[in-house]
Structure 1
């Protein structure tokens, strides 16, 4: 999309969602201490660190519905069942029958059977599970495009939520999530999101150290999700355009939002959490070099600009035979925090001396896919309300901002992306042809992506 078209798709939002509105993380910037010279040391509890218990406490039986029965949804359902006592999945919703049947089989192997009457197929199936009074919470694990409207429906139905990351593919969806997140807070609902690093004790303890000034004022950051090629599926003759998109959703822009959202969101979220602010502008590039199906990029490199000359460089790549790197680095005036999920988190000064490192021997880190569901159940049963939806929404919007900068080849500002009414995907959902769908129309920087390649 050309910059002039992007701006033409922008509109003033009015007072409902102010431009540049701050999340809780933004309001408590990591650099607050050093900037104000207060010298105050914050405890982990004051900063909101979770309990990190090995299993959720007992309490009222909780019944959940799974919306989206693919591999990630099935995995999330199993993680939920194992997170504590007296937990059950009682309803399923999906569009594809074979995905649902595969999920039911896995759940039955985990001593959880589901009645046929509570298994719903179709694009409106999520509404049917929301209407079941016995459902206490829902697990939202469909392709990302559908998540905003499903999250809104869950909140309206008064359900607690586990919501996979990211939470939207475009600014229109982000606004839906932000509004629903505020309603969820008003209703006292728990919302746990699938940005797993916020559910790792080693990341949390590093955050406490950084927040308390161990590296001084944050001046720059880097974040990376560089890996080999991801899965893809060819278009079978018996599949309609819509079915093909759903089965190959990760490689389809309107469903996944591209891999800078689906994977890179993890690293972008960590930087947003540690920095405590959003960028004011993004400039990036990317392209499709070896991807076999779909219409998304293979690689991104985005420069994010913040106030006071701070920066973040984010890279994301999915190409075989290339160097791998999944990590974040927080650079300060006194040192650097080196973050990753490989059990090697440490903080160094600029001479290479270790200022702090996580004690993995005495404090093992639980699988975060399990830990996030423990936090979900613990929050509900102990009435310790956690709502991560708004934080995820702003991190996702930062990823969207970088994606659009790379797609267009233009600088995109925070106010522009917040005000844009850009929306990806069809207006209605049904199995069959998609008139505007083309297999390999990949965005070309500096060129309208709707024009021929």
Structure 2
């Protein structure tokens, strides 16, 4: 992609353009941003409601058998399938789909080996249209774990088919995708569907207990925050002469912005989501920078540093990095008027300004990756309203806002992003050579139009 794909001319658009966007239409979009929704000026005045937790049971209750279909059969999809099967009684996987046959085969084999569940061969689908075939196969629950670029279309299709959904984060890679997710989330509420996203910290007992203590005035008013996902290189796939251009990018998806959103969106959204959850509001603007130092494939940065500003003047510093040989840390810190909450130790805790422990959050032996499926199944079987798509989409948009600021070198506002027509990726999805890589360049800050 060329540098000017990230220019203000590209990512800032009029509210009228946004009004015309989204395959579900304006009516579905106008009320999907919390209690505020979209105003006449095109701004989003999201006002968070009181956070409601699911029952948090140790295992899902018994009930009608629930059949899951897996869309995206890589490591995440296969892992999510097994976590779903571990969530309680009466759960099975009856359909799987992926762009590649080898992924379908490995997923099917692992599910059978670890859980004794054999997916019928006639319900194993391959290709760009595999997602629709899984949705149409008679399942009750859809698990979305394909590259994030495709998440909005697949989520919308699942909701239209009246399926409950577990979908991995992030939910989209660009503003157009976020608006599509928000519209589908609104439709899911109307249809009484349950939606859980892959932000597992919201299902992790010690994070929940720390949240409750903060809400109980455990640190006073939060005055600033720091969030970090600084780690080593994730992974990459070198090109194979037997692959087409599209196949290489799909197999190397975490290194291509149009497929992953860059790692500030694909990975660091976890930490940003914790901050928005704990603080109860999203930042209104971002100014940041980043660079590419050692990434061997793709068109992304490998480090970001973003200063987020909230409407009341508070700041949050966000850093993320995927470079080997550096000091690592994945955690959040919230500075309050009375004390400090942090998650960088063995257990989330509250300390005084001298570092003395004041509160340690109680944890559970249940993996949060299983707990989120327990919560989904519980809400389905007990008909408890639960839909995380909106909250995760807002955190996702905050990550996109930071990425665009770093790519362009300019301050970017949340309203600008919500009103942006930026849509990443090729227009055609075929397993061939589409001429995309030849025009792909790493963004250079300060060169936008």
**Residue of structure 2 equivalent to 1:343:** 346
Q: What is the SS of the residue equivalent to 2:238?
A: coil
Change beyond 3 A, Cα 1:52–1:27: closer
Equivalent residue for 1:383? 383
Residues of 2 paired with 1:130 and 1:92: CA distance? 10
Question: Which residue does the alignment assign to 1:34?
Answer: none
Structure 1 residue 81: Cα displacement: 0.8
State yes or no: 1:131 paired with 2:136.
yes
Superposition deviation, residue 372 in structure 1? 0.8
Indicate conservation of the 8 Å contact 2:44/2:418, yes or no: no
Would you say 1:222 and 2:245 are equivalent positions? no
Q: Distance in 2 between matches of 1:242 and 1:221?
A: 40
User: Which residue of the partner structure matches residue 184 of structure 2?
Assistant: 180
Q: CA deviation at 1:349?
A: 2.5
Measure, in 2, the Cα distance between the counterparts of 1:209 and 1:438. 52
Unpaired stretches in structure 1, ≥5 consecutive residues: 29-46
Q: Is the 8 A contact 2:12 2:419 kept in 1?
A: no
The equivalences for 1:159-198 within 5 A come to: 159-198=163-202
**Residues of 2 paired with 1:392 and 1:314: CA distance?**
17
Superposition map of 1:360-379 within 5 A: 360=363, 364-379=364-379
Query: By how many angstroms is 1:384 displaced?
Result: 1.3
Q: How many angstroms apart in 2 are the aligned matches of 1:238 and 1:448?
A: 36
State whether structure 2 residue 319 is matched by structure 1 residue 305.
no
Q: How many Å separate the matches in 1 of 2:10 and 2:308?
A: 18
Relative distance call for 1:20 and 1:353 in structure 2 (3 A) is: farther
Question: How far did 1:357 drift?
Answer: 1.2
Distance in 2 of aligned mates of 1:22 and 1:332 = 25
Q: Distance in 2 between matches of 1:313 and 1:253?
A: 22
Map 1:8-157 → 2, pairs under 5 A: 8-12=12-16, 13-14=18-19, 16-17=29-30, 18=38, 19-21=42-44, 26-28=48-50, 47-109=51-113, 110-132=115-137, 134-157=138-161
Number of residue pairs matched?
A: 425
Corresponding position: 1:253 with 2:257: yes
Q: Which one of the candidate residues 270, 275, 291 is aligned to 1:287?
A: 291
Contact kept, 8 Å, 1:218 with 1:331, in 2: the verdict is yes
Instruction: Check conservation: 1:72, 1:141, Cα contact below 8 A.
Output: yes
Distance change (3 Å), C-alpha of 1:169 and 1:403: same
CA distance in 2, matches of 1:432, 1:92: 23
**Runs of at least 5 residues in structure 2 that lack an aligned partner in the other structure:** 20-25, 31-37
1:315 aligns with 2:338: no
- Output the CA distance in 1 between the equivalents of 2:119 and 2:108: 7
Equivalent residue number for residue 33 of structure 2 = none
Is residue 66–residue 140 contact of structure 2 (8 Å, CA) maintained in 1?
yes
Q: Give the ranges of 4+ consecutive aligned residues of structure 1 lying more than 6 Å apart after TM superposition.
A: none
Structure 2 CA distance for partners of 1:421 and 1:300, relative to 1, 3 Å: same
Question: For the residues of structure 2 that align with 1:438 and 1:396, how far apart are their CA atoms?
Answer: 29
Q: Deviations over 1:177-223 (max 9, x none)?
A: 00000000011100010001101011111111111212111111010
1:272 partnered with 2:270: no
Q: CA deviation at 1:388?
A: 0.2
Alignment correspondent of 1:236: 240
Q: Contact 1:23–1:391 at 8 Å: present in 2 too? A: no
Are the aligned partners of 1:10 and 1:422 in contact in 2 as well (CA < 8 Å)? no
* Root mean square deviation, CA, Å: 1.7
Aligned to 1:358: 361
Alpha-carbon distance in 2 for matches of 1:178, 1:23: 12
2 CA distance for matches of 1:288 and 1:446? 15
TM-score relative to the length of structure 1: 0.90
Contact 2:291 2:302 in 1 (8 A): yes
Structure 2 counterpart of 1:397? 397
CA change 1:294–1:10 in 2 (3 A) is farther
Residue 242 of structure 1, CA deviation: 0.3
Cα distance in 2 for partners of 1:172, 1:53 equals: 36
* Contact persistence 1:301–1:314 (CA under 8 A): yes
- For the 8 Å contact 1:3–1:410, the answer to whether it is kept is no
1:23–1:390 contact (8 Å) kept in structure 2: no
1:112-145 residue CA offsets vs partner (Å, 9 max, x unmatched): 111121111111111112222x310100000000
SS of the counterpart of 2:358? Answer: strand
Residue of structure 2 in register with 1:263 after alignment: 267
